[in-house]
Amino acid sequence: MKILKSSLDITVRFSETDPMGVVWHGNYLKYFEDAREKLADDYGMSHYEVYNYGYFTPIVKTELNYKSSIFFGEKVRVNVILERHNAAKIVFKYEVINLSNGKLATIGMTTQVFMHVKDRALELVKPDFYQSWEEKQNWIEA
């Protein structure tokens, strides 16, 4: 059994900071997206694969809790864990660690749902392809 998790190291770019040199709060969602894409690639379920099965997975809920600041030029590690749920949703949990000082900078969560590409209808049960993928993962909760 395994926990579905991944990590991504990022160096903060100048364009991601505000006039004080602090990472602008909205950029944490970009960091989450980058880590989520890496996890999807690591486990064989990219956005393109989901789309090829006829689905979008829009984000319907986001949570961010800021713990400490990150500044231009610092390195961070974004850790992401995919939670397993019985409902037709995909939930990721994140933590952003400032590698320059070891401090926890941010924690967060995103929830996505399944939507049909053709008519943009919400899927109320997990699609078959996703259930099959989950079974192949043999994962446990974190």
Range of the structural domain that residue 35 is part of:
5-137
pLDDT at 141: 57
The separation between the first and the last C-alpha atoms of the chain, rounded to the nearest angstrom, is: 11
Name the pTM for this structure.
0.92
What CATH number corresponds to the domain at position 106?
3.10.129.10
* Number of other CB atoms surrounding residue 130 within 10 Å: 19
Residue 142 in domain? no
Does residue 80 belong to any structural domain of this protein? yes
> Quick one: how far is CA 61 from the chain centroid?
12
d(CA 101, CA 90): 32
pLDDT tens for 29-79 read 999 999 999 999 999 999 899 999 999 999 999 999 999 999 999 999 999
- Is 59 inside a domain boundary? yes
Q: Is 16 inside a domain boundary? A: yes
Tokens 């990150």 appear where? Answer: 70
Give the whole-number percent of the chain exceeding pLDDT 70: 96
Structural domains in the chain (count): 1
DSSP H or E segment with residue 34: helix 27-42
3-state secondary structure of 9: strand
Count Cβ atoms below 10 Å from residue 4 Cβ, excluding itself. Answer: 21
Place of tokens 């319907």: 60
Query: What's the pLDDT score for residue 1?
Result: 46
